[in-house]
């Protein structure tokens, strides 16, 4: 039989409504925490039982949607992916993500990050327009071509890496790890031919060269993406593409569909 372990833990929660308050305040809630309860569970319990005015953004509760990123005991974590008792502390401090504008309480505004994401064209760009309009086949990728970007495609856009990035804490124009990871994921895809269109943004003054490998992004990533790695690999490919005009990349071959040439009857 599994012993249930209930402990009383103090939650110090950041409260701030920019429309009303001049300065943020801290509120302390004492909550009975069961084994296996996550920080998000506790916040929802506070919302239900103690203080309905607490603002939290969440959706899936299983580390898939990336909505509930926040500072828990001074480190960027997903609230739904952090068990309270595993933190091993009697007081748990909960704050909104650093370096992102606060909407209210624990909710932060991601519009800056999403605008930057649009700038790096996070989609596959191809030059064979005729084939795109009237497809005659399919682009089948080999497993090793898939492996080139699969790790970086797992990103859930929770923004923890961008919040942890030391450059982003002073340089609000920096593209941030989340976006650079996205740019690398599409640039290295064997179907993509759009690196030259992304270069003016990635290779700019506030592009990927403002990363100095502090690796704070990788140490907070909850999905094993390793953004520090993808940014360094991005530097490698833009150096070879931008300076030496050379792209060492396998290109996917068009596999013709059977009977594609026959007109429909």
Partner 1 sequence: MKESTKMLLHYITGFLILITGATHLIANNLVRFNWIKDTLWYPMSQGVFLAAVLYHAMNGLRVILVELFPGSSSGKIISIILTVVGIIFFVFGLYFLLVIFGGR
Partner 2 sequence: MGRRENKLGILGWLKLKGYSIEKLMYVAQRISGVGIIIFLLAHILNVGLVYAPTKELWEPPGIIGKAVLVILGIIVVFHTFNGVRLILAEYGFIVGKPRRAVYPYKMTSLSGRQRLAVYLVLAVFIIIFYFWIMVAFNLLGW
User: Which residues are CB-contacts of 96 (< 8 A; sequence separation ≥ 6)?
Assistant: 14, 16, 70, 71, 102, 105, 106, 107, 108
Contact partner, 14, from partner 1, partner 2, none, Cβ < 5-8 Å per class: none
Q: Are 187 and 198 in contact (CB under 8 A)?
A: yes
Q: How many residues does the chain have?
A: 265
Site size for partner 1, by CB under 8 A?
A: 19
Contact stretch for partner 1 (CB under 8 A) within 135-143, 144-152, 168-176, 179-187: 168-176
Choosing from 65, 173, 233, 254, the residue that interacts with partner 1 (CB under 8 A) is 173
Per-residue contact string for residues 58-87; x = within reach of partner 2 by CB under 8 A:
---------------xxxx-----------
Q: Does 254 bind partner 2 (CB under 8 A)?
A: no
Q: Which of partner 1, partner 2, none does residue 233 bind (CB under 5 to 8 Å by kind)?
A: partner 2
Are the C-beta atoms of 170 and 206 separated by less than 8 Å? no
Say how many CA atoms lie within 13 Å of 122 toward its Cβ. 18
The closest of 14, 151, 9 to 89, measured between CA atoms, is: 9
Question: Whose Cβ is closer to partner 1: residue 167's or residue 181's?
Answer: 167
Among 98, 173, 191, 193, binds partner 2 (CB under 8 A): 98
**Quick one: tokens of 178?**
């989340």
246 binds partner 1 (CB under 8 A): no
Q: Are the beta carbons of 177 and 161 closer than 8 angstroms?
A: yes
Decide: is 179 part of the binding site for partner 2 (CB under 8 A). Answer: no
The widest CA-to-CA distance across the chain, in whole angstroms, is: 73
Cα distance between residue 245 and residue 231, in whole Å: 19
With 0-12 CB in 10 A as exposed, 13-18 as middle and 19+ as buried, what is 111?
exposed
Contact partner, 174, from partner 2, partner 1, none, Cβ < 5-8 Å per class? partner 1
Three-class SS state of 171 = coil
For position 197 contacting partner 2 by CB under 8 A, the verdict is: no
Question: What does 190 bind: partner 1, partner 2, none (CB cut-off 5 to 8 Å by kind)?
Answer: none
User: Is residue 255 a contact point for partner 2 (CB under 8 A)?
Assistant: no
Binds partner 2 by CB under 8 A, chosen from 33, 78, 87, 102: 102
Contacting residues toward partner 2, per CB under 8 A: 16, 18, 23-24, 73-76, 96-102, 108, 147-152, 154, 164, 166, 168-170, 172, 212-216, 218-221, 223-226, 228-230, 232-233, 235-236, 239
């Amino acid at each position: 039989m599994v012993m249930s372990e209930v402990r009383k833990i103090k939650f110090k929660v950041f409260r701030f409504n920019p429309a009303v308050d001049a300065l943020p305040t801290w509120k302390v809630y004492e909550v009975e925490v069961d084994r296996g309860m996550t920080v998000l569970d506790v916040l929802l319990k506070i919302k239900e039982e103690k203080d309905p005015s607490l603002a939290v953004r969440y959706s899936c509760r299983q580390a898939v949607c990336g909505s509930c990123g926040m500072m828990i005991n001074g480190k960027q974590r997903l609230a739904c992916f952090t068990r309270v008792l595993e933190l091993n502390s009697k007081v748990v401090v909960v704050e909104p993500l650093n370096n992102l504008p606060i909407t209210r309480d624990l909710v932060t505004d991601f519009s800056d990050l999403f605008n930057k994401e649009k700038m790096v064209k996070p989609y596959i760009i191809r030059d064979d327009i005729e084939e795109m309009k009237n497809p005659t086949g399919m682009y089948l990728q080999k497993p090793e071509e898939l492996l080139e970007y699969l790790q970086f495609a797992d990103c859930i856009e929770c923004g923890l890496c961008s919040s942890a990035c030391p450059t982003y804490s002073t340089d609000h124009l920096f593209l941030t790890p989340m976006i650079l990871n996205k740019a690398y994921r599409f640039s290295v895809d064997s179907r993509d031919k759009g690196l030259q269109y992304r270069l003016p943004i990635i290779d700019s003054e506030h592009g990927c060269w403002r990363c100095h490998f502090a690796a704070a992004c990788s140490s907070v990533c909850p999905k094993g993406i390793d953004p520090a790695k993808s940014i360094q690999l991005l530097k490698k490919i833009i150096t070879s593409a931008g300076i030496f005009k050379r792209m060492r990349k396998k290109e996917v071959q068009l596999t013709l569909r059977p009977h594609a040439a026959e007109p429909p009857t």
